[in-house]
Amino acid sequence: MALVQQSSPHAHHARPTSRLMLWVMLATVPGLIAQTAFFGWGNLINVIWCVALALASEAVILKLRNKPIAFFLKDNTAAVTGLLLGLSLPQFAPWWVSGIAVISAIVVAKQLYGGLGSNPFNPAMVGYALVLISFPVAMTTNWAQPATLWAGAPGFGETLATIFSGSQTSIDAWTMATPLDEYKHKITTHTAAEVLQHPTFGDLVARGWEWVNLAFLAGGLVLIWLRIITWHIPVAFLAAIAIMSLAFGNNADQYAPLQLHLLAGGTMLGAFFIATDPVSAATSHQGKLIYGAGIGVLIYLIRTWGNYPDAVAFSVLLMNFAVPFIDHYTPPRTFGHHKARRGVPGKSGG
């Protein structure tokens, strides 16, 4: 009788990583639908291209690292990285820009640091920041006009051709500055009312963007409800932006108003899907609050006084740097202890 010898516990009931990642991907679907509805086929094409390239580059590097390829590809984490890049890059970003972003995310930011679970920085944001700095023109002039799906928008084929051919001849007719970009640059010389005349703002907050952000918010709430992420990072993230905006940017004739900060740009995607990447985020609840709030504060600072209209990538990466530090000082209080043991072993602390 060869009895199985195993350490306890003998019962398991886990949702495997692959399924968690699948849920994350499914939760982005409302956002992707909204993006496609308001900004055309660009995001969908980007998503497919980026996911495919992410899986391919992950497979190649796993092969080079002599790791089981199928085992790791099945965890869906590479697909999520590709998906997040596809969702956040400009709709008409040329294929090679998104390609460079994906490859540097998977190969450099993830695998060269040791693969899944070992990367200190959010891979998708490393790729994004890299192309944002390297190709500023491609990353600012390729945002689609809102609502083009209904009014003479480029069809699927045209979009595909624009992204992959490299010919950007007719592209100017389909693109437009993003609301955050427009506001940031016009407000220095115009009043708020004048700036908001621009069609990119539409009737509500930011034409199309508001629905995209609300859709990502909805998907994010599903993730919280499914207990795949906790509320700490998104809430601290959004609260920090709101507090910063109310405290420092209350004058709409000088600074973008709060609703624009929350519902334009990559705010909701960043708050629920990017900042919550567990590998590169802080660990404890308290740490997550600090981490999320730090990202929110940095986003506001960079958007308002920095050189970039949006700042999710930089803010997430900067806070990634701070994670080990935050983790040292925010362990939870363990049951039966008076207070948490902060700091590093051997040094002072409760």
Cβ atoms within 10 Å, residue 188: 8
Q: Are 106 and 69 in contact (CB under 8 A)?
A: no
CB of 4 or CB of 193, closer to other proteins: 4
- Count interface residues toward other proteins (CB under 8 A): 45
Residue 339 interacts with other proteins (CB under 8 A)?
Answer: no
Q: Which of 16, 136, 155, 199 binds other proteins (CB under 8 A)?
A: 16
Please state the φ and ψ torsions of residue 48, each to the nearest 5 degrees.
-65, -45
- Cα separation, 225 vs 83, in Å, equals 22
DSSP 121: S
Q: How far is the CB of 115 from other proteins (least distance, A)?
A: 7
Residues in 253-312 that interact with other proteins by CB under 8 A: 278-279, 281, 283-284
Residues in 75-134 that interact with other proteins by CB under 8 A: 75, 77, 115-118
Residue 336 interacts with other proteins (CB under 8 A)?
Answer: yes
Residue 332 interacts with other proteins (CB under 8 A)?
Answer: yes
CB of 273 or CB of 308, closer to other proteins: 273
CB of 230 or CB of 304, closer to other proteins: 230
Q: Is 83 exposed, middle or buried (0-12, 13-18, 19+ CB in 10 A)?
A: buried
Q: Which of 63, 65, 185, 333 binds other proteins (CB under 8 A)?
A: 333
SS3 assignment, position 135: coil
Residue recorded with tokens 């796993």 = 62
Residues in 235-254 that interact with other proteins by CB under 8 A: none
Q: How far is the CB of 149 from other proteins (least distance, A)?
A: 36
Tell which residue, 51, 62, 54, 52, has the closest CA to residue 115: 62
Q: How far is the CB of 225 from other proteins (least distance, A)?
A: 14
- Cα separation, 342 vs 349, in Å, equals 5
Instruction: Pick the stretch among 188-196, 223-231, 264-272, 292-300 that binds other proteins (CB under 8 A).
Output: 223-231
DSSP string, 262-328: HHSTTHHHIIIIITT-TTTS-SSHHHHHHHHHHHHHHHHHHHHHSS-S--HHHHHHHHHHHHHHHHH
Note the residues at the interface with other proteins (CB under 8 A): 1, 3-17, 19-20, 71, 75, 77, 115-118, 227-228, 230, 278-279, 281, 283-284, 327, 331-337, 341, 344-346
